[in-house]
Amino acid sequence: MTTRGFGVIVIGGGHAGVEAAWAAANLLQESGSVALVTLDPSRIGVMSCNPAIGGLAKGQLVREVDALGGLMALATDATGIQFRMLNTSKGQAVHGPRAQCDKHAYAQAVQMLVASRPEIEVIAGSVDRLIVEVGEVRGVVVRSPGGDELTLHARAVVLTTGTFMRGLMHTGEQKTAGGRHGEAPAVSISAALQELGFELGRLKTGTPPRLKRSSIRWNDLPPQFGDDPPRPFSDLTPRPGNSIAVPAPGPSGVGDPVDAALDGWRSTGFVAASFPLLPQVECRQTQTTAAAHELIRANLHRAPMYSGQIESAGPRYCPSIEDKVVRFAQRESHGVFLEPESHRDDWIYCNGISTSLPTDVQDAIVRGMPGCEQAVIYRYGYAVEYDMVRPHQITVTGQTRLVRGLYLAGQINGTSGYEEAAAQGVVAGINAALSVIGKPEYVIGRDQAYIGVLMDDLVTRTPVEPYRMFTSRAEYRLLLRADNAADRLTPDAQRLGLLSSTELGRRRSRLFADRREQIASLNAAIDRATLEGVPVPRLIRTQNFELGDLRRVLDAPGAGATDSVFDTVYADRRYEAYLVRQRAEIRRHAELEHRRLPTEWRDAMLDGMRTEARQAIMRFRPQTFGQASRLEGITPADMTLLAVLVKRHSRGDTDAVPARPS
């Protein structure tokens, strides 16, 4: 058996895994210090469901990953074929950047980025077991595609298995083992985790059918266009300029402008390419019909979710078409967006009809939609069931409570979505590397980022369905906008050393310094400006004074500021009174939020507390009073008593606890 040593081992090449490996490489900075173990290296970065990045709240996560030096935003900008800012009819706090990507190009871009890092070594194989000694991870045993065993040693392991742990796919009554179409499941790792004492759960997600574009009456359907000009995700991507000329797809919809585009990014190391590189596309809109809904109701007994074939819960906020028909029985139709998946093929993603119904029912649903009467289905929709580790067993750094040095990220923690996975990957990768080099852990607060909200929610709630991020989950969303992600997190990235090891990181630091200067200059110009005798700072807070008005008023004084700087300064000024209140609220709660609780809880320490409160604390083992206050079943009276108990414990007082308040 061959033995190798690494600083950090990352298991899984999906969106969580590549971000974890990338972040760890940024900190460890030694050739071959990170092992990225994946079943099939050619599938690294694959978009297994909708080839889109971002959206409401999810776009904020991507911008935050970028601010911390991650790669998702860069890959998106390199391969986006339609960019849109969602929710623009509302305030900037809830704007959500989204991009439809070329699925083949995206995976290529991610693989190019990973290959550019000498610190990351990709190893093909499946993990049979974890090596754990005295409660600490020491490495993993990998089985290669040829059947050989390889032992990898490391002081930190990041596990990002996605939907592959005992993955089982369902289409009607048909069941196939696998984590996604055409790929085998990871079987051994579930048993290995259970042997270590982890409590596992089971969740479900799904995907819709894919159609052949040339079989759709495409031009007869209403279009949905992207933004013109598009706005990139990454702070490293230049604004629209002279893009590289690439050939558009031919009449059949099949072409290959991808290689020329990616060559442009490769030649500049992703730091100086023009934007955008790929030709932009339009999507089309259609809808389901009342007849299709009747057919679905008549065949619910054949749907795995309703027949009892699947017992695990699916995502409530991204429901299957059969769920929609049952839950919204009064609706006669549901909107469906037909979204091109690539310039390299003519596959169309049916956004809105995720399903695991039998193929004959899927045929009827699709061909009942306007414009799709003769549609050819390339791939039928399916559901996938998979194992997850209930996330009360991790901390907000992603580290497990049972095994020191073992970190979990992505769908293994009960989340849904590329963006949530990437966010967890960054957190786990950073903290895994910090533990290896002996530096303190990095914790992102709820008041600092959507990433902080995500991690806190995972460790204080029991997921009954795949977790998805929404703006409504963030109580400080006025402060956590997509436009100011760099202001919130890039200083942390600099302090931690995430930006010092690559030209990408150094360029990010230079751009951030320039951004700060532009913000200061623009604010000074606003403070000096008037319009018809009225100070501009006062005008910004009025109902009808929009961002375009600010640009026109400042004109020359603001000419040097980027779009992103204008967005941030305008939003800060417009929401100023509310931001002052939110910052004051954060200060009021700061002591509670960061006050530490004992690391080792014993049931006897909680004598006097209500049974429900005691059980919640023993199950979730909160690290701070702030986390404890958000646990299910905890009341303000419980928190008052908890403070007394902790104080007595800290001074070793074993006197009887006062009676619980009624």
Quote the DSSP letter at residue 399: B
**pLDDT of amino acid 268:** 83
Highest mean pLDDT among 151-165, 177-191, 398-412: 398-412
The rounded distance, in Å, linking the Cα atoms of 86 and 430 is 30
Average confidence (pLDDT) over 457-471? 87
Lowest mean pLDDT among 14-28, 113-127, 598-612: 598-612
The rounded distance, in Å, linking the Cα atoms of 270 and 115 is 13
**pLDDT of amino acid 289:** 95
CB-CB contact of 185 with 12 (8 Å): no
Rounded (5°) CA angle 397-465-305? 150
**pLDDT of amino acid 368:** 95
Q: Measuring CA to CA, which residue among 404, 505, 451, 448 is closest to residue 154? A: 404
**pLDDT of amino acid 317:** 57
Q: Which residue has the tokens 């992102």?
A: 444
**Is the pLDDT higher at 26 or at 169?**
26
**pLDDT of amino acid 293:** 95
Lowest mean pLDDT among 233-237, 385-389, 461-465, 518-522: 461-465
Q: What is the mean pLDDT of the chain?
A: 89
Amino acid in position 78: A
Q: Are strands 126-133 and 52-54 parallel, antiparallel or unpaired?
A: unpaired
Asked whether residue 640 carries a pLDDT value surpassing 50, the answer given is: yes
Lowest mean pLDDT among 320-329, 335-344, 417-426: 320-329
Residue 497 Ramachandran class (φ > 0 left, ψ -120 to 50 alpha, else beta): left
Per the DSSP assignment, residues forming a β-bridge with 612 are none
Average confidence (pLDDT) over 600-607? 73
**Is the pLDDT higher at 562 or at 183?**
562
Q: How many residues does the chain have?
A: 662
**pLDDT of amino acid 160:** 95
Asked whether residue 251 carries a pLDDT value surpassing 50, the answer given is: no
**pLDDT of amino acid 613:** 86
**pLDDT of amino acid 311:** 65
Q: How confident is the model at residue 313 (pLDDT cuts 50, 70, 90)?
A: low
Instruction: Give residues with Cβ within 8 angstroms of 78, minimum separation 6.
Output: 105, 109, 261, 262, 265, 270, 273, 277
Asked whether residue 443 carries a pLDDT value surpassing 80, the answer given is: yes
Average confidence (pLDDT) over 519-540? 94
What is the chain's alpha carbon radius of gyration, rounded to the nearest angstrom? 26
Asked whether residue 203 carries a pLDDT value surpassing 80, the answer given is: yes
Distances (CA, A) of 513 to 269, 487, 491, 494, 561: 21, 10, 10, 11, 13
Quote the DSSP letter at residue 441: -
Rounded (5°) CA angle 535-537-543? 100
Q: How confident is the model at residue 295 (pLDDT cuts 50, 70, 90)?
A: very high
CB-CB contact of 17 with 112 (8 Å): no
**pLDDT of amino acid 447:** 94
**Is the pLDDT higher at 563 or at 18?**
18
Using H for helix, E for strand and C for coil, what is the string for 119-140? CEEEEECEEEEEEEECCEEEEE
**pLDDT of amino acid 523:** 95
Distances (CA, A) of 525 to 441, 465, 528, 538, 539: 40, 49, 5, 14, 14
Amino acid in position 139: G
Q: How confident is the model at residue 651 (pLDDT cuts 50, 70, 90)?
A: low
Q: Measuring CA to CA, which residue among 476, 433, 453 is closest to residue 94? A: 476
Average confidence (pLDDT) over 639-645? 86
Q: Which residue has the tokens 């914790």?
A: 443
Asked whether residue 51 carries a pLDDT value surpassing 80, the answer given is: yes
User: Is the peptide bond preceding residue 463 cis, with omega within 30 degrees of 0?
Assistant: no
- pLDDT tens, 488-502? 999 999 999 999 889
Q: How confident is the model at residue 125 (pLDDT cuts 50, 70, 90)?
A: very high
Asked whether residue 305 carries a pLDDT value surpassing 90, the answer given is: no
Highest mean pLDDT among 156-170, 229-243, 527-541, 647-661: 527-541
**pLDDT of amino acid 188:** 81
Q: How confident is the model at residue 559 (pLDDT cuts 50, 70, 90)?
A: low
Average confidence (pLDDT) over 158-183? 83
Strand, helix or coil at 64? helix
